[in-house]
A and B are shown apart, each in its own frame.
Chain A
Amino acid sequence: MFSFYITDEEFNAESRVTSHHHLTLGQRTKESSNPKAGFINSMSYKAMKCGLRFKPPAIILLYEDVTAGKYRQRSMPIRSFSKFSDCSRAAEQLKNNPRHKRHLENVSQSQLERLYKLLKGHLNGNSLEESLEEIRRSETIDPEEDLNKLDDKELEKRKSLMDELFEKNRKKKDDPDFEYNVEVDFQQEGPVEVCGWDEASDEEF
């Protein structure tokens, strides 16, 4: 059985963010008179991987202590969490926990939330596959769903899922290849593919 589960996919992204962060620190150090000052005063923990241990429940972080030049593993025990607990709140509390805060700076709350969901599924007697499937489902937008009909909370959930894609594809002002005015002429040459959204049966359309 799995006792330790690591979600790899997002960590690459996380560590990219971290190294970017690290880079800015490095640049700042260069300018200061004391080349090490930047590192002493700021944390340089580079999160690499993050996972869940079922027994006893803990969130495990693999990270690089850049100052010391060492790789370390940190266990963050999960206490007072039951199958009735709120995963999003638990993730938020862990992220803001003064003991772990600095290590988790570059680990997103949604990633931690996912780990809590896995634990919750486990406490409910679900297999790892079942829990993963459930998480996947809750994190996918149903293209048929009419979001106009949702209440605020549910709509916000969908919006934050969409925001993940938005942020992923987003060109920010500080990006080296950012252009304010991007014009693309999508000339449709030859026979245009039918998109299927214009069926003849939809007469009102």
Chain B
Amino acid sequence: MSMAGDGVSDIEQEKYDADENVKIICLGDSAVGKSKLMERFLMDGFRPQQLSTFALTLYKYTTTVNGKTVLVDFWDTAGQERFQSMHASYYHKAHACIMVFDVQRKITYKNLSTWYHELREYRPEIPCIVVANKIDADLRVTQKGFNFAKKNSLPFYFVSAADGTNVVKLFTDAIKLAVSYKQNSHDFMDAVMQELENFELEKQEAVSDKEDESEDALPLQLQGF
């Protein structure tokens, strides 16, 4: 796994370590309605920041969870999904994921497994919500079973960006999940990354030290996980 490498490393992602910041990413095929959902949730308040060089759209949102101010960055794909894969930095430090498919197009449902697989490569533990969008096209789909979410034990929502059904609930729940994940994070990769960062620091410090204990410090500490 590469760290926020290559071009996208220019985007400041350190802030996502601060308590009040959370990062929520959207995943799913082209034209499933990811941006439409964002816009429906934010209504007039949305000021998307187009980062076209990174094929990325950022939506900023401020809210309170349990009496505390939370600054949310929603990351939207802006066409990058066409490569059926996102850059590693898209997942980097994300605290929750909203994964969308279009109830009118089976292939977008089938592709969920590809998206989910990639998500778990980078973020094995973050909360992920599965979203069936465009139910306004035919409400009968809400009586049908979609096993993907159940199989992976993920929360599942029927929504419509057009008429607004469950959109606000989806996003407020996603924010709550992101905040609680951040507070209780036991993410293995987070821990490993933290260790590696510490290790790098220790190694640099060790250059001037005669006693160099840091070299075997890493495997020892990792065994604890």
Interface, chain A (partner B; CB < 8 A): 141, 143-150, 155, 158-159, 162, 165-167, 169-171, 173, 178-184, 186, 188, 192-195, 197-198, 202, 204-205
Q: Which residues of B in the span 123-154 have a Cβ within 8 Å of any Cβ on A?
A: 134, 136-137, 141-148
Could you list some 30 contacts between A and B, CB below 8 A?
A143-B106, A143-B107, A144-B107, A147-B29, A148-B81, A148-B82, A155-B30, A155-B31, A155-B82, A162-B31, A165-B136, A165-B137, A167-B162, A169-B137, A169-B162, A171-B164, A178-B164, A180-B43, A180-B168, A181-B168, A184-B166, A186-B142, A186-B158, A192-B143, A194-B144, A195-B141, A202-B110, A204-B113, A205-B113, A205-B148
- Number of A-B residue pairs with CB-CB distance less than 8 Å in the complex they form: 105
Which residues on A sit within 8 Å (CB–CB) of B31?
147, 155, 158-159, 162
Contact present for A170 and B44 (CB under 8 Å): no
Which residues on B sit within 8 Å (CB–CB) of A173?
43-44
Q: How far is the CB of B45 from chain A (nearest CB, A)?
A: 11
Q: How far is the CB of B61 from chain A (nearest CB, A)?
A: 14
Q: In the complex, A192→B140 CA distance in Å?
A: 11
New contact pairs (12) apart from A150-B30, A170-B162, A192-B144, CB-CB < 8 Å: A141-B104, A141-B105, A143-B104, A147-B30, A148-B83, A155-B30, A169-B160, A182-B164, A182-B166, A186-B158, A198-B146, A204-B113
The 3 closest A-B pairs by CB, nearest first: A195-B144, A192-B145, A186-B142
Q: In the complex, A204→B114 CA distance in Å?
A: 10
Q: A166-B162, A193-B144 are in contact. Are A181 and B169 (CB under 8 A)?
A: yes
Q: How far is the CB of A205 from chain B (nearest CB, A)?
A: 5
Q: A182-B165, A184-B165 are in contact. Are A193 and B30 (CB under 8 A)?
A: no
- Asked if B122 is an interface residue, CB under 8 A from chain A, the answer is no
Which residues on A sit within 8 Å (CB–CB) of B134?
165
Q: Output the nearest chain B residue to A155 by Cβ-Cβ distance.
A: B30
Q: Output the nearest chain A residue to B81 by Cβ-Cβ distance.
A: A148
Q: Output the nearest chain B residue to A143 by Cβ-Cβ distance.
A: B105
Q: In the complex, A192→B30 CA distance in Å?
A: 29
**Contact for B163 among A170, A195, A197, CB less than 8 A:** A170
Which residues on B sit within 8 Å (CB–CB) of A178?
164
Contact present for B107 and A145 (CB under 8 Å): yes
- Asked if B49 is an interface residue, CB under 8 A from chain A, the answer is no
Contact present for B104 and A194 (CB under 8 Å): no
Contact present for A188 and B164 (CB under 8 Å): no
- Asked if B186 is an interface residue, CB under 8 A from chain A, the answer is no
Q: In the complex, A197→B83 CA distance in Å?
A: 23
Q: How far is the CB of B113 from chain A (nearest CB, A)?
A: 5
Q: In the complex, A74→B111 CA distance in Å?
A: 50
Q: In the complex, A20→B163 CA distance in Å?
A: 20
Contact present for B148 and A198 (CB under 8 Å): yes
Contact present for A182 and B167 (CB under 8 Å): yes
Q: In the complex, A141→B104 CA distance in Å?
A: 9
Contact present for B145 and A195 (CB under 8 Å): yes
Which residues on B sit within 8 Å (CB–CB) of A145?
105, 107
- Asked if B161 is an interface residue, CB under 8 A from chain A, the answer is yes
Q: In the complex, A50→B79 CA distance in Å?
A: 37
Contact present for A182 and B30 (CB under 8 Å): no
